[in-house]
Structure 1
Amino acid sequence: MHDHQDGPDRRHRRPEGVDDKTVEALGALSKALETTERARGHLYGFHQLTGGADLELDRAVRLLREAGHPEWADKVEAEILGRNVIPGHWTFQIVEAYNDTYYRPFQQLERSAVSELAQGRDHLCEAEMKEDRRTSGHPDHTARPPAAGA
């Protein structure tokens, strides 16, 4: 481990009395939340792509009419345009339900655990891994970002 002058800043140093298993557990909890963040991003992608497809159907309906296929335009308009993606739900409702039911409670629990078990200090596992893996004194292995104005 490196000295405190060269090591991580205070908010990334393990508080007194926090054991290895707690740091590892909080790291696993944080990693799971990060994975959930990625899943949530994919859900927003799903929402936006589906919405974009639905808006493109307006053009398809118009072009089918212009091409002399009013029965197909009517069919697309009646069967697919504005259709629920799952019973009773458009994608925005799925996103809202995910946020309310899963994402926000998970996020709040993770924050509470870090606050109670590690005095609110984030990424302790990663900060300690960085210390173990960096080469002290190497200009591209510094423990901290450059000081403001330096």
Structure 2
Amino acid sequence: MNNEHTDDKPTDPSHRRPDGVSDTTVRALGALSEALETVERARGSLYAFHQLTGGADLKLDEALEQLRAAGHDAQADLLEREIVGRNVIPGHWTFQIIEAYNTHYYQPFTDIEARIRRELLDGRRHVYEAEMKETRRTHGRPGHTPGP
């Protein structure tokens, strides 16, 4: 019989709760992990915003060229003067927003999340999820093994 189908060993030690850690603590760290995942998604959205806005600004070059080719120099001049290279919020291009977010929110969040995991779970990640997997999988079934 294939070992993949019969391997019922629980989750690897790097995802097991340390001795003496309560269910409430594991749930709290699971919620913290989920919050961090949401922050990661928000950060990704900032990068998407950065790239989309930058791409739109570069696309304006084509609009300027076509406006001028059509004889609309005044409108092209207005667009170039007022919009091309404009700050998206006062004093900031999108890269500066990302830098500020990373410095003032993202990095402190990730640092504190890691510190709390070290203090309460010996630094282990995804203990809540690993325990959920262990309770939800069908032991002994293909595709339900505890690890890779």
1:15-71: CA deviations, max 9, x gaps? 101111110111100100000000110110000000000001111111111111100
Q: What pairs up with 1:54-65 in 2 under 5 angstroms?
A: 54-65=57-68
2:81 aligned with 1:78, yes or no? yes
Tell me, what secondary structure is at the counterpart of 1:128? helix
For structure 1, the residue ranges without an aligned partner over 5 or more in a row are 146-150
Percent identity (aligned):
65
Larger RCO of the pair (alpha carbons < 8 Å, separation 6+): 2
2:130 aligned with 1:127, yes or no? yes
The residue aligned with 1:52 is 55
The residue aligned with 1:91 is 94
The residue aligned with 2:69 is 66
The residue aligned with 2:33 is 30
The residue aligned with 2:43 is 40
* Superposition RMSD in Å: 1.2
Work out the CA distance in 2 between the residues paired with 1:77 and 1:136. 65
Structure 1 residue identity aligned to 2:123: G
Match of 1:138 among 138, 141, 145: 141
The residue aligned with 1:18 is 21
2:101 aligned with 1:102, yes or no? no
Tell me, what secondary structure is at the counterpart of 1:143? coil
Q: How many residues align?
A: 142
Work out the CA distance in 2 between the residues paired with 1:74 and 1:84. 18
Work out the CA distance in 2 between the residues paired with 1:50 and 1:79. 15
Work out the CA distance in 2 between the residues paired with 1:130 and 1:67. 63
Moved over 2 A (4+): none
What TM-score, normalized to structure 1? Answer: 0.92
Deviation of 1:116 after TM superposition, in Å, equals: 1.0
What TM-score, normalized to structure 2? Answer: 0.93
Work out the CA distance in 2 between the residues paired with 1:82 and 1:132. 54
Tell me, what secondary structure is at the counterpart of 1:16? coil
For structure 2, the residue ranges without an aligned partner over 5 or more in a row are 1-7
Work out the CA distance in 2 between the residues paired with 1:48 and 1:16. 46
